[in-house]
């Protein structure tokens, strides 16, 4: 039974282990407990858990902090694990450092940040009250969770209570047949006041006098609430944030549940420049005095381009003693314009600004507390910055990143020209709080104004990305087949329009692009995107999806076509000898491909249909040859 549970629970949710980390005056940060002790974590992974779970910071804040870390499974590995950390720090004069420091870590192979953040809120207090003895019971509890219904609200039993969450159905470029409903709408007719009032969000689409494109962008409902458990414990009532979360479009990238407003509070005016950096694959250092702030900002940055999948390395919180520190430092050694792998690093250590001084971009959250009370809404300046918000500074290519004097304002250092303007309409839609300070992000439920602002910004940037990608649709259909006649055995990949950057740029109508893109910079923006690490995997996946979907359609149609109908032209005439020979060649190629890929019972039925068509065409060729 334990084996079955392990396969169902840990396999579906990626759970690997529960760990605790403490600071030892002799050995430094070390693993204090690990369950199960025989889990398949490499020695490098165990060191990463120890190094990353007790964050370095000059801000000696007391209390609990939740954040996420990401580290390789082993030295040099391309596979990564995630650590979801609850770090507690309390003043304790009896300890040599003056503080009690301990962390509880959930190790998973899947980036379910929303789920495991909620888990930590439940099991964290139990651990700090009872100690490591509860790890086994908590781990076994999670192993017997039922398989998740993806993109649907569900309730999971945990330690005598229940947690409610949505487990996303994440996009996997290698799985063509598993993502057939990425953009399909839920059958549930229920709506939500934000989703229904599209006029609140459409103004950015209609700037500069552009017409609406007619694409329905309404958020779907993700279905009814999960049924009550048979247990006496009932799921908690959903928060305001949970309600909004359940009404969003299906999440296909890892961190769309992370709030853009809450992660970049005080930096909202720079979000469009950050979107530019993200979609063009620029590397970025995120420096903050708080581990959760840099962590959330890193994850939110990778999600800015959703539903486009972020292709790059990212470390939400990174430490000096990580095993691959030197390798990350060496990236972009060729200068800011080098084509090294896109990397985003979050850290609390200002030393990183010197170690990574050759990197192209950095965002520095303020290390000083805000001095003003009841701060007014920031006023947008001509350079895209604001009078009391984030300053955006362009530095020359040959200038090394330098830490500036501590300030109560955030700072974005960038080397590229600005291709995208902030959308003042969206900024003006944000609900004003009584005070806006960039401080440690709390782990409790968000205030309603934060939740509303998160929804506004998430919706805007999702639509911005989708509209930016729309000109590429010409490469994902069979309507541009260059006069080729379609038939049941056509090779779809051979008739798709080939991609060429210059031809693509010539085909783009600038007036149909998002109005936030500067009219003189759209060519540079698209060129940078095509050269980024995001483009090729996404483009190839979309092409493969097109081929897969059309091929599946042809498979269904073949089963409805008799051999007699196959040998008849669209005009009702019998096929000529040359046409039959060409068709025979296509059928043979399709038959060989189907035999190589045959894995299911319906594949056998398809093979039988193709064999019948093959025999019929051969007989027809023999008849025509005999007649001549």
Query: Is the model's pLDDT at 449 over the cut of 60?
Result: yes
Is the pLDDT confidence value at 349 over 70?
yes
Residue 58 confidence (pLDDT): 64
Quote the distance between the C-alpha of residue 493 and its chain's center. Answer: 28
Distance CA 268, CA 270 (A): 5
Q: What is the spatial distance between Cα 496 and Cα 479, in angstroms, rounded to a whole number?
A: 8
Q: Which of 377, 419, 370 shows the shortest CA–CA distance to 394?
A: 419
CB 471 within 8 A of CB 507: yes
Domain hosting residue 163, numbered range: 1-167
Give 77 or 332, the one with higher predicted confidence: 77
Backbone phi, then psi, for 162, in 5-degree steps? -135, 145
Q: Of 226-235, 344-353, 494-503, 613-622, which range is least confident? A: 226-235
Average pLDDT over residues 545-574: 89
Distance (Å, whole) CA 449 – CA 240: 10
Domain final residue, candidates 167, 202, 233: 167
Residue 505 clears pLDDT 60, i.e. is over it: yes
Q: Which residues share a beta bridge with 382?
A: none
Q: What is the pLDDT of residue 60?
A: 65
Q: How confident is the model at residue 170 (pLDDT cuts 50, 70, 90)?
A: very high
> 107-125 b/e with 16+ CB inside 10 Å = b?
bbbbbbbbbbbbbbbbbbe
51: three-class secondary structure by DSSP: helix
Examine residue 307 and say whether the peptide bond preceding it is cis (omega within 30 degrees of 0). Answer: yes
* pLDDT (average), residues 281-306: 96
CA–CA distance, 552 with 547 (Å, rounded to integer): 8
211-230 tens-digit pLDDT: 333 333 334 334 444 444 33
Residue 250: is its pLDDT beyond 60?
yes
Q: Which residues contact 373 (CB under 8 A, 6 or more apart)?
A: 435
DSSP state for residue 374 in the 8-state scheme: S
pLDDT at 479: 64
Number of domains in the chain: 2
DSSP secondary-structure letter at 409? Answer: S
Closest CA to 15 of 109, 83, 79: 109
Q: Tokens 């993806």 identify what position?
A: 150
**Is residue 601 a part of any domain in this protein?**
yes
pLDDT of residue 494: 83
The CATH number linked to 143 is 3.30.450.200
Radius of gyration of the chain (CA): 28
Cβ neighbours around 33 below 10 Å, total: 17
User: Among 52, 59, 77, 51, which residue's Cα sits nearest to residue 295?
Assistant: 52
Identify the three-state secondary structure at position 413. Answer: strand
Share of the chain above pLDDT 70, in %: 76
Would residue 572 be called left, alpha or beta, if left means φ above 0 and alpha means ψ between -120 and 50 degrees?
left
CA distances from 132 to 118, 409, 511 (A): 19, 41, 61
Q: Greater confidence, 515 or 571?
A: 515
Mean pLDDT of 529-551: 94
Boundary residue ending a domain (167, 199, 234): 167
Q: Is residue 369 part of a domain?
A: no
- Identify the CA nearest to 179 among candidates 253, 258, 115, 247: 253
Percent of the chain with pLDDT over 90: 54
Q: Which residue carries 């894995």 as its tokens? A: 599
Coil, helix or strand at residue 363: strand
Contact present, 33 and 135 (Cβ < 8 Å): yes
CA distance 6 to 144: 7
pLDDT above 80: residue 237: no
Mean pLDDT of the chain: 81
- Cβ–Cβ < 8 Å for 456, 426: yes
Average pLDDT over residues 236-249: 56
Instruction: Specify the pTM.
Output: 0.82
For residue 608, being part of any structural domain is answered with: yes
pLDDT at 174: 84
**In this structure, is residue 424 part of a structural domain?**
no
- What residues contact residue 206 under an 8 Å CB cut-off, 6+ apart? 212
Distance CA 137, CA 127 (A): 11
Residue 243 reports pLDDT greater than 60: no
Task: Determine the average pLDDT of the residues in 281-289.
Answer: 95
Mean pLDDT of 603-611: 89
Q: Is residue 115 part of a domain?
A: yes
The domain boundary residue, chosen from 137, 167, 197: 167
Helix axes of 2-13 and 135-143: crossing angle, nearest 10 degrees: 80
Q: Report the alpha-carbon distance of residue 578 to residue 624 in Å, rounded.
A: 10
506 contact partners, CB below 8 Å, separation of at least 6: none
Quick check: 80 and 71 in contact, CB under 8 A?
yes
For 369-421, the pLDDT digits (tens) are 654 443 444 444 444 444 456 888 888 877 777 756 666 789 999 999 999 99
Examine the pLDDT at 161 and tell me if it is beyond 70: yes
DSSP 3-32: HHHHHHHHHHH-EEEEEEEEEETTTEEEEE
Q: Which of 104-118, 124-138, 180-194, 291-305 has the lowest mean pLDDT?
A: 180-194
Is residue 42 domain-resident?
yes
Is pLDDT larger for residue 73 or for residue 231?
73
- Give per-residue pLDDT as tens, 187-203: 333 332 223 333 333 33
Whole-number pLDDT of residue 213: 37
Q: Which alpha helices (DSSP H) does 397-521 contain, by range?
A: 424-429, 448-469, 492-495, 501-507
Q: Residue 123 falls within a domain, yes or no?
A: yes
Higher pLDDT pick, 358 / 627: 358
Name the token pair of 275.
Answer: 């979107």
Once rounded to an integer, what is the mean pLDDT over residues 504-531? 97
Closest CA to 364 of 396, 310, 336, 402: 402
Q: Is 261 inside any structural domain?
A: no
Q: Is the pLDDT of residue 205 over 60?
A: no
C-beta atoms surrounding 616 within 10 Å: 18
Smallest CA-to-CA distance from 250 within 216, 221, 275 is with: 221
Sign of CA dihedral 613, 616, 620, 622: positive
């Amino acid at each position: 039974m334990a084996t079955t549970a392990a396969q169902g629970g840990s396999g579906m949710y990626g759970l690997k282990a529960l760990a605790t980390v403490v600071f030892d005056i002799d050995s430094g940060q070390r693993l204090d407990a690990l369950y199960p002790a025989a889990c398949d974590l490499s020695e490098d992974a165990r060191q990463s858990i120890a190094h990353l779970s007790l964050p370095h910071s000059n801000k000696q804040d007391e209390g609990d902090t939740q954040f996420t870390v990401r580290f390789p499974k082993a030295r040099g590995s391309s596979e990564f694990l995630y650590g979801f950390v609850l770090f507690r720090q309390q003043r304790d004069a009896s300890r040599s450092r003056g503080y009690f420091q301990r962390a509880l870590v959930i190790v998973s192979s899947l980036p379910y940040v929303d789920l495991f953040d909620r888990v930590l809120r439940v099991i964290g207090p139990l651990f700090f009250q009872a100690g490591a003895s509860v790890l086994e019971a908590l781990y076994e509890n999670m192993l017997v969770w039922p398989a998740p219904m993806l993109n649907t609200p569900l309730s999971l039993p945990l330690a005598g209570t229940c947690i409610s969450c949505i487990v996303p159905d994440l996009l996997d470029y290698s799985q063509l047949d598993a993502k057939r409903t990425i953009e399909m709408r839920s059958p549930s007719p229920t709506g939500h006041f934000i989703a229904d009032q599209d006029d609140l969000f459409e103004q950015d689409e209609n700037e500069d006098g552009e017409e609406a494109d007619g694409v329905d962008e309404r958020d779907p409902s993700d279905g009814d609430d999960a049924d009550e458990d048979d247990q006496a414990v009932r799921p908690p009532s959903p928060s305001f944030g949970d309600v909004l979360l359940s009404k969003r479009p299906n999440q296909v990238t890892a961190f769309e549940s992370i709030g853009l407003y809450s992660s970049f509070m005080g930096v909202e005016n720079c979000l469009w420049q950050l979107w530019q950096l993200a979609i063009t694959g620029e590397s970025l250092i995120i420096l903050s005095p708080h581990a959760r702030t840099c962590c959330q900002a890193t994850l939110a940055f990778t999600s800015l381009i959703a539903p486009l999948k972020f292709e790059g390395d990212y470390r939400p919180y990174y430490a000096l003693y990580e095993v691959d520190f030197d390798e990350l430092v060496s990236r972009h050694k060729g200068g800011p314009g080098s084509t090294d792998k896109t990397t985003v690093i979050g850290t609390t250590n200002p030393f990183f600004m010197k170690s990574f001084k050759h990197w192209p971009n950095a965002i520095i959250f303020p290390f000083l507390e805000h001095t003003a009370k009841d701060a007014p809404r920031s006023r947008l300046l001509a350079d895209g910055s604001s009078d009391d918000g984030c300053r955006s500074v362009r530095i020359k290519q040959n200038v090394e990143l330098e830490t500036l004097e501590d300030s109560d304002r955030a700072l974005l250092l960038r080397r590229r020209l600005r291709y995208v303007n902030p959308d003042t309409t969206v900024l003006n839609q944000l609900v004003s709080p009584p005070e806006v300070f960039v401080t440690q992000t709390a782990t409790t439920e968000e205030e309603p104004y934060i939740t509303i602002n998160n929804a506004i910004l998430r919706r805007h940037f999702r639509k911005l990305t989708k509209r930016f990608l729309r000109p590429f649709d010409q490469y994902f259909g069979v309507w541009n087949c260059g006069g080729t006649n379609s038939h049941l055995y056509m090779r779809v990949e051979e008739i798709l329009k080939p991609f060429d950057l210059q031809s693509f740029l010539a085909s783009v109508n600038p007036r149909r692009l998002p109005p936030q893109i500067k009219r003189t910079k759209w060519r540079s923006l698209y060129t940078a995107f095509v050269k980024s690490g995001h483009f090729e995997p996404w483009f190839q996946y979309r092409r493969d999806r097109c081929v897969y979907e059309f091929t599946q359609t042809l498979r269904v149609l073949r089963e409805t076509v008799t051999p007699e109908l196959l040998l008849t032209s669209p005009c009702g005439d019998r096929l000529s000898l040359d046409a039959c020979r060409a068709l025979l060649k296509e059928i043979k190629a399709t038959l060989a491909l189907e035999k190589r890929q045959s894995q299911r019972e319906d594949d056998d039925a398809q093979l039988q249909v193709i064999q019948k068509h093959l025999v019929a065409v051969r007989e027809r060729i023999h008849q025509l040859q005999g007649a001549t």
